[in-house]
């Protein structure tokens, strides 16, 4: 059952992420103008790689939740918030600090990770 939860949450996170970037990129473009990174339209191999990447994230999340005995919804959401803060958010502040990545780009990526992790936390707790 946990495998189903991982797969379903990975697909849901992938779809949510695609919709999120479609909505957020025009805002980024309005702020950064020509400096905006052109992410283009992803080809099939990129879509496949992105799905695999999201499956890995969901699987590690599910393993951690099980190992820590966090089975229920508020607990998994708290775990997602902790992981988001300590890893993607910290990494993205590093990219602003050390590589001068525009804060709006980093904020958009941080938002994507937050949505992904909250969705995975919700579905893993619901479907496991």
Partner 1 sequence: MPTPLHEVAGTAPTTCTGAARPVRPARRLGWTWSASAAVAPLVTASIWYSIFGAAWVRLSGVDPIAASHPSRWAMLGQLGRNAVVVLALTALARRAGAASIRDVVGLAVLVWFGFEAMSVLGSVLHEGYPFALYLIHVGDALQTTLVMATLIGLSQRARRRNLVGHDAREGTGR
Question: What does the binding site for partner 1 look like in residue numbers (CB under 8 A)?
Answer: 37, 39, 42, 46, 49-50, 53, 56-57, 59-61, 63-64, 67-70, 82-83, 85-88, 90-91, 93-94, 97-100, 109, 113
Q: What is the CA radius of gyration of the chain?
A: 15
Shortest gap between Cβ of 3 and partner 1 (angstroms)? 16
What's the Cα-to-Cα distance from 90 to each of 3, 14, 78, 82, rounded to whole Å? Answer: 29, 22, 17, 11
Q: Which is nearer to partner 1, 33 or 69 (CB)?
A: 69
Shortest gap between Cβ of 55 and partner 1 (angstroms)? 10
Shortest gap between Cβ of 49 and partner 1 (angstroms)? 6
Q: Which is nearer to partner 1, 25 or 122 (CB)?
A: 25
> Helix, strand, coil: what percent of the chain each, to 5?
85, 0, 15
Shortest gap between Cβ of 68 and partner 1 (angstroms)? 4
């Amino acid at each position: 059952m946990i495998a189903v939860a991982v797969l379903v949450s990975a697909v849901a996170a992938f779809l949510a992420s695609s919709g999120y970037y479609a909505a957020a990129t025009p805002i980024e473009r309005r702020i950064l103008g020509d400096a905006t990174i052109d992410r283009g339209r992803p080809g099939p191999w990129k879509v496949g790689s992105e799905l695999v990447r999201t499956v890995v994230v969901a699987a590690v999340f599910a393993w951690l939740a099980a190992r820590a005995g966090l089975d229920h919804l508020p607990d998994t959401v708290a775990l997602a918030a902790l992981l988001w803060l300590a890893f993607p958010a910290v990494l993205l502040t590093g990219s602003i600090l050390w590589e001068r990545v525009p804060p709006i780009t980093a904020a958009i990526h941080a938002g994507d990770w937050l949505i992904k992790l909250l969705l995975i936390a919700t579905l893993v707790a619901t479907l496991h």
